[in-house]
Amino acid sequence: CHTAGFAAAATADGCNVLMKDALSFINNALCFKCQILDLLPMGFVLWLLQLLYCAFVFSYMPLAGIALNSPVSLIFHAFFFLTLTSFYRAATTDPGHVPHTREWRTRSSPPQGMTERKRGNPRQARWCDKDGCYKPDRAHHCRALGRVVLRMDHHCIWLRNTVGFSNHKFFLQFLGYAAAACSVLGVSLLELLVHTALPGLSSFLVTGAAGLTAILGGVLGPFFAFHFWLLTKNMTTIELVAANASQQEVAKAASEIEAGKPREAPAPDPYNIGTYNNLCSILGDNPLMWLLPVGGPSGDGLSFPLRPEVAIERERLRQRAVQVGLHIGNRMKPQLLGNSEQSTASGDDGTKSETDTSSEGRQTSAATATATTVEAEAEA
């Protein structure tokens, strides 16, 4: 009996080991599959760039009879080189992360200089429970990277990276130079088709390349124009979506202002400090380096200058919220003390009168309404 029990236990242990090994193998295989799937969009972009380069070098140049050092070839190769370089920099540059210091990782004491507050609570700084840190102004948590990204714009699957404070410049350059390379190739192929009689197969290949170039240029050109427009306004994609979502709040504030109510309209672009300064905030302080995929914006990405009127209004609402919080606390302390004294004396003198109870309730309701009004203004 003992021998049979030991044999059964050994068999069970062996099965458990085999089961753990099988689960570990399946988990590793799934992780490898996920990594391959994540790399597919980036590989697709590189494959398209390879098609464009082969169409120019192996199709257009021999049919047009131009040399490698011709002006058109030099322009195309310059744009193509800048496209690859900016793509590499945008994909490999860290978009920006919150420092691993006690200043940003201690929940009880938020860092100084933060102007954005938690939605619905103007006295509380934005805290990220997933990353365990405070969110600086314009920073958001990225689910793809699993952490907070400074001045987050969006997560780009084609780069396998998130566009943020440190790599936004390279992302814009990639879009611009890729659209420029498609334009040069498309115009060259179209001119070749119009002015040159090509054989059947060559005409088919050139026509297909021209169609692919037109599609890519038609996608990249408007996309670059959209992001460049956002840059001139010093807005991110997330901030644009939030601004569009608050249009009803803006209309409500405007109607209240027209009715004579003291209400401030929400600022649509609080970080718009002028076109030149907006460009410098991402492309860098030196305009001579704006077109090169090197360098980056100045600053640490933790704080950003505000429009003067927005900065003044946020400071005013913050101070008012603090004052109201202190005022409510000072008014509630005597009430709590009075309630405790009356509760102690109720055994000898009877219960508290209904008139005093209703008066205290009205005072508490008024203080709560005042705090709610201040929170609503600060949130706007």
Catalytic residues: 156
**Distance (Å, whole) CA 203 – CA 187:** 15
| Residue 158: φ, ψ to 5° | -70, -25
Torsion angle defined by CA atoms of residues 312, 313, 315 and 320, in that order, rounded to the nearest 10 degrees: 140
- Residues ≥6 apart with Cβ < 8 Å to 231: 172, 278, 279, 282
- Residues ≥6 apart with Cβ < 8 Å to 211: none
**Distance (Å, whole) CA 197 – CA 182:** 23
User: 27-63 burial string, b = 16+ CB within 10 Å, else e?
Assistant: eeeeeeeeeeeeeeebeebeeebeebbebbeebbbeb
**Distance (Å, whole) CA 94 – CA 163:** 9
> Is the distance from CB of 246 to CB of 289 less than 8 angstroms?
no
